[in-house]
């Protein structure tokens, strides 16, 4: 069992600091100067209004992103993360921290520029969209890190910790069948996911880490469901990755955590199973029928 307390090399002293959002007006004026005609009349053809608006919106919500990044740094410098999870969480942090610093640096440069090209604004906006797309999973990773740190004294055994995380994930996956059916019956377009907001996800993970592992009877019941689910996936000729990810979650939940598999890997596999089943329309299945179908099936 190893732990990591390495503080990420964030180079905070060199990190660009966003000025007050009122400085956005300087970027607008710089863009206007770039798109002004020789006679001083603004030509709106090609003027990057949408890009300027998107930069403003991102800038306005930036504090929440920075708060999460700083909370992530506290987690990684705590000295309470298992080595495997610590390494993966550091990568997740870097995948957000690096582009965010790049965005901020370019915004600062825009506020100081006499003129700003629309294509440069567009490039920054694309980077912002990439960050926004990754923030949901980044939030799940942060929730895991904070939950692990908060419960480390009660969960000193890395393997048992991963088993508990997997069992919580497995139960959430099965509950998703019920949620999906409710949304289907109500004719909503909502996509069921295992990903929650930061505090809710953290609370769920801490609940999983704070309980005892399954007993023999509960394990056997879930084993039957797994066998039936796997049988149905194979019979339906669904994407093989669904069955592969399902096996990662199930093997971990039953106590056979695959070598090199972290708690974050387990959560990722669980979400991929859910999205894969959703894409295949598999949530019409009944859990009791799956359990019956799993009777006598080999693992």
The radius of gyration of the chain's CA atoms, rounded to the nearest angstrom, is 24
Q: Which of 150, 178, 196 is the last residue of a domain?
A: 150
Residues 143 and 163 in one domain: no
pLDDT of residue 148: 99
| pLDDT of 9 higher than 60 | no
As a whole number of Å, the end-to-end CA separation of the chain is 29
Between CA 162 and CA 264 the distance in angstroms is: 9
Question: Between these two residues, 246 and 5, which has the higher pLDDT value?
Answer: 246
Over range 87-93, report the average pLDDT: 97
Between CA 139 and CA 196 the distance in angstroms is: 8
Residue 38 binned pLDDT confidence (cut-offs 50, 70, 90): very low
pLDDT of residue 15: 85
Query: How many domains does the structure of the chain reveal?
Result: 2
| pLDDT of 12 higher than 60 | no
Residue 8 lies in a domain: no
Lookup: tokens for 284: 């019409």
**What sign results for the dihedral spanned by CA atoms 120, 123, 127, 128?**
positive
Over range 92-116, report the average pLDDT: 97
Between CA 181 and CA 170 the distance in angstroms is: 18
Residue 5 lies in a domain: no
| pLDDT of 121 higher than 90 | yes
Residue 26 binned pLDDT confidence (cut-offs 50, 70, 90): very high
Residue 123: which domain range?
Answer: 14-150
Between CA 291 and CA 222 the distance in angstroms is: 8
Residues 143 and 172 in one domain: no
């Amino acid at each position: 069992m190893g732990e990591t307390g390495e503080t990420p090399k964030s180079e905070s002293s060199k990190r660009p600091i966003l000025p007050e959002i009122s400085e956005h007006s300087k970027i607008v004026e710089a863009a206007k100067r770039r798109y002004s005609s020789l006679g001083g009349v603004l030509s709106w053809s090609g003027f990057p209004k949408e890009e300027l608006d998107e930069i403003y919106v991102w800038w306005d919500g930036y504090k929440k992103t920075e708060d999460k990044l700083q909370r992530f740094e506290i987690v990684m410098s705590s000295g309470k993360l298992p080595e495997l999870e610590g390494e993966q969480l550091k990568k997740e942090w870097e995948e957000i921290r690096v582009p965010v610093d790049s965005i901020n640096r370019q915004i600062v440069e825009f506020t100081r520029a006499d003129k700003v090209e629309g294509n440069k604004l567009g490039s920054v906006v694309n980077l912002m969209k990439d960050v926004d797309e990754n923030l949901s999973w980044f939030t799940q990773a942060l929730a895991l890190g904070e939950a692990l740190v908060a419960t480390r004294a009660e969960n000193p055994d890395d393997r048992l910790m991963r088993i508990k995380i997997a069992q919580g994930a497995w139960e959430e996956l099965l509950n998703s069948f019920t949620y999906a059916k409710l949304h289907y019956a109500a004719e909503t377009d909502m996509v069921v996911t295992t990903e929650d907001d930061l505090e809710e996800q953290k609370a769920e993970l801490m609940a999983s880490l704070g309980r005892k592992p399954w007993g023999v009877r509960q394990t056997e019941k879930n084993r039957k469901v797994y066998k039936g689910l796997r049988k149905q996936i194979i019979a339906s000729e669904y994407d093989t990755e669904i069955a592969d990810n399902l096996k990662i979650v199930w093997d971990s939940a039953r106590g056979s955590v695959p070598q090199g598999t972290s708690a974050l890997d387990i959560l990722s596999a669980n979400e991929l199973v859910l999205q894969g089943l959703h894409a295949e329309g598999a949530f019409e299945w009944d859990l009791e029928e799956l359990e019956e179908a799993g009777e006598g099936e080999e693992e």
